[in-house]
């Protein structure tokens, strides 16, 4: 057991499972919800608009796999390099590959990279990509999926070096509603709420929830027009909205 795992509290170390690193493991998926809440036992991450990618590293062997088990090494060769240059060890990490349009992640821009399957062409692409990591599933011979999320995030932060295209997905604790409003105001896609004590399961779960930003507008109903043609009742609703003064 490496020093990082030994540094865990005793009750957490008991949940570690020594095993052979699997060649594949299904990702945990979030459940869409209309709930918006704050809770000190939950953490909140910004929702990224990209491609889910799990990384399996054993020695110098690195495999990037989509949630549908598609091998993506040739599409994102700079990520393969970045993971090969990590300190010695084996691990499985989970995250989202994104491209930016300004300060916002853009799936349409990322599609310009997703269609490339020649590594040299991908390297020459002017579409820079980044891998935002938010979970660690396996480390140096131990499955850590049964650890609480708060411990997995701590291990992830310390186990890898984040530079170049690799990014640690930061989170906020407790203040989910405030973070959600701020994310929507900034034009982000939304927020992922995660139970900080939850295990990593290989299916969709309500321990991970999606708060998606939606476009809303308060309007005043002023009336309606008479029906025309084959319509009955009324024709169209007349609405108005307040425009802020400059």
> Buried b / exposed e across 41-76, counting CB within 10 Å, b at 16+?
ebbbbbbbbbbebbbbbeeeebbbbbeeeeebeebb
Reference 165, options 69, 71, 99, 90; nearest CA is 99
Q: How far apart are the first and last CA of the chain?
A: 63
| Distance between CA atoms of residues 58 and 213, nearest Å | 38
Give the count of beta carbons closer than 10 Å to the beta carbon of residue 219: 11
**Among 14, 47, 161, 178, the one annotated catalytic:** 47
Is 3 tagged catalytic? no
Residue count (the chain) = 246
> Buried b / exposed e across 222-231, counting CB within 10 Å, b at 16+?
eeeeeeeeee
Give the catalytic positions in this structure: 47
């Amino acid at each position: 057991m490496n020093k990082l795992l030994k540094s865990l509290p005793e009750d957490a170390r008991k949940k570690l499972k020594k095993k052979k690193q699997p060649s594949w493991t299904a990702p945990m998926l979030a459940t869409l919800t209309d709930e918006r809440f704050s809770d000190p036992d939950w953490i909140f991450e910004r929702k990224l608009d990209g491609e889910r990618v799990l990384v399996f590293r054993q020695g110098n062997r690195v495999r990037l796999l989509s949630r549908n088990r598609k091998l993506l090494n040739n599409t994102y060769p700079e990520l393969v390099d970045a993971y090969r240059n990590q300190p010695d060890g084996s691990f499985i990490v989970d995250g989202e590959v994104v491209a930016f349009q300004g300060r916002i992640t853009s799936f349409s821009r990322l599609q310009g990279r997703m269609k490339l399957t020649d590594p040299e062409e991908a390297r020459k692409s002017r579409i820079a990509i980044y891998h935002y990591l938010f979970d660690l599933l396996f480390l140096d011979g131990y499955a850590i999926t049964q650890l609480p999320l708060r411990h997995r995030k701590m291990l992830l932060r310390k186990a890898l070096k984040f530079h170049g295209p690799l990014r640690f997905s930061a989170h906020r604790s407790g203040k989910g509603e405030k973070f959600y409003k701020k994310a929507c105001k900034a034009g982000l896609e939304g927020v992922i709420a995660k139970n900080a004590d939850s295990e990593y399961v290989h299916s969709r779960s309500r321990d991970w929830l999606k708060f998606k930003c939606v476009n809303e507008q308060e309007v005043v109903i002023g009336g309606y027009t008479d029906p025309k043609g084959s319509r009955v009742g009324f024709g169209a609703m007349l609405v108005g909205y307040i425009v802020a003064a400059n």
